[in-house]
Amino acid sequence: MPKPDTLLAHAGRAPEAYAGMVNTPVFRTSTVIHPTIASYEAPRDLTQKPVSYGRHGTPTTFAFEEAVARLEGAHQAVATPNGLSAIVVALLAVLEPGQHLLVSDSVYSPTRGFCDRRLAAMGIDVEYYDPLIGGGIAELLRDNTGAVFCEAPGSLTFEMQDIPAIAAAAHARDIPVLADNTWVTPYFASPFELGIDISIHAGTKYLGGHSDLMIGVVCTNERYWKPVRMAVYDYGYSVSPDDCYQALRGLRTLGVRLKQHQRNGLEVARWLQARPEVSRVLYPALESDPGHALWKRDFRGASGLFSVVLEPVGDEALARFVDSLRLFGIGSSWGGFESLITVVHAASYRTATRWQPEGPAVRLHIGLEDPADLIADLRQGLDRLHGDKAAAHG
């Protein structure tokens, strides 16, 4: 089995099939013409990915899916229009009305919206669990539990989860484990070795890597491939071949980009940790993080996304800090080449656990800029918090 960097360069390509072209071309189509009516009417098994109709995927789609599946060690993968649709279709593929679903309390908030508004309306009993529960999840499993949904580290608050312990408990009762693996990417983890049955990525983030496309991908083991593939078919999802091409192009440099995001992320996180305005940095790659041991055991690296809990400070001073930054864009999403910042409001929607940080929190995406410049920008911003305090006291 080639190593991840080698797979990134070679998976999902077949120059001999395309006149020697290095990259699999963009195949645009709706209709696929058949030579005879017999060929047209012949039964087709969509789980085998025949080229049969535009909505079912083109060679460009299949090349992207194959590259992600091989990198991740999955049986197969299927692309979806964005990350949220990948989560939605994976859950719909395995759940039946009347079942019980366990979801980590620190899950991506639109995942929560789908569970609370849509799955609940379909008669699925959604229960949130403490992300730190580990093997203790056994006590929450019921006869009608249809799936366990994980996300490690958690969105915004970055708790690591003991996935192998959760998977062992779920598998003892033949319950599938789904995980949103967007943060770690297929490059830094082997989710199927950890016991995950269905691994989901918002390819919008690091796979695309350039803040210019929306795509999702669901990877499965052999057992869950057919239900997931057929759910994508039944719900009518398809992805533009141009977006598949761009995502595959992004994938070619995933390794070099991620290693740099990790290096820059660690440098900025360590600098922040030493600042008096900072209470805690929530980043499993830091030795001081409570999830560090699990991160080290289960993952091969870290991406450049983490949160920072500040010492208590007023809303105005916080806004002055965030608004003063020149190199950090204020905006959603992450995983592109550029740095970003948002304010974290995770406390408002937790239900199974409490998240009460000592001060306000911000989430940073550390991009590929020179970390010295990012640090200088953060320094001038944090100095404004200081200035505010000094002014208030003076």
Ligand X SMILES: *Cc1c(COP(=O)(O)O)cnc(C)c1O
Does the footprint of ligand X cover residue 108 (CB under 6 A)? Answer: yes
103/320 Cα distance (integer angstroms): 36
The upper half-sphere exposure of residue 98, i.e. CA atoms within 13 Å in the direction of its Cβ, equals 2
By DSSP bridging, strand 361-365 and strand 340-344 are: antiparallel
Q: How many residues bind ligand X (CB under 6 A)?
A: 13
Catalytic residue, candidates 49, 70, 112, 205: 205
By DSSP bridging, strand 198-202 and strand 305-310 are: unpaired
CB closer to ligand X, 12 vs 153: 153
Counting beta carbons within 10 angstroms of the beta carbon of residue 183, is it exposed (0 to 12), middle (13 to 18) or buried (19 or more)?
Answer: buried
Closest CA to 198 of 309, 34, 78, 282: 78
CB closer to ligand X, 219 vs 382: 219
Binding mask 202-221 for ligand X (x = CB under 6 A): x-xx--------x-x-----
CB closer to ligand X, 90 vs 175: 90
**Candidate list 99, 104, 182, 199; residue touching ligand X; CB under 6 A:** 182
Residue nearest to ligand X (CB): 83
Q: Which of residues 295-354 bind ligand X (CB under 6 A)?
A: 333
Segment interacting with ligand X (CB under 6 A) among 77-85, 88-96, 185-193, 230-238: 77-85
Distances (CA, A) of 367 to 89, 162, 202: 30, 28, 18
Catalytic residue, candidates 13, 49, 70, 180: 180
Q: Which residues contact 276 (CB under 8 A, 6 or more apart)?
A: 311
Counting beta carbons within 10 angstroms of the beta carbon of residue 368, is it exposed (0 to 12), middle (13 to 18) or buried (19 or more)?
Answer: middle
**Residue 234 corresponds to which amino acid?**
D
Residues in the chain: 394
Question: Nearest approach, Cβ of 54 to ligand X (angstroms)?
Answer: 21
Task: Give yes or no for a contact between 282 and 306, defined as CB atoms under 8 angstroms apart.
Answer: yes
Residues linked to residue 146 through DSSP beta bridges, in sequence order? none
Question: Nearest approach, Cβ of 149 to ligand X (angstroms)?
Answer: 11
Catalytic residue, candidates 28, 55, 142, 297: 55
Does the footprint of ligand X cover residue 155 (CB under 6 A)? Answer: yes
Binding mask 57-76 for ligand X (x = CB under 6 A): --------------------
Does the footprint of ligand X cover residue 84 (CB under 6 A)? Answer: yes
Q: Is 108 noted as a catalytic residue in this protein?
A: yes
Q: Is 55 noted as a catalytic residue in this protein?
A: yes
Segment interacting with ligand X (CB under 6 A) among 135-143, 200-208, 254-262, 294-302: 200-208
Write out the E strands in the chain. 76-80, 100-104, 125-129, 145-151, 177-180, 198-202, 216-220, 278-282, 305-310, 329-330, 340-344, 361-365
**Candidate list 24, 82, 303, 307; residue touching ligand X; CB under 6 A:** 82
Q: Is 180 noted as a catalytic residue in this protein?
A: yes
**Candidate list 4, 12, 83, 241; residue touching ligand X; CB under 6 A:** 83
CB closer to ligand X, 190 vs 204: 204
Segment interacting with ligand X (CB under 6 A) among 79-87, 226-234, 246-254, 364-372: 79-87
| Enzyme catalytic residues | 55, 108, 180, 205
Give the binding site for ligand X (CB under 6 A). Answer: 82-84, 108, 155, 180, 182, 202, 204-205, 214, 216, 333
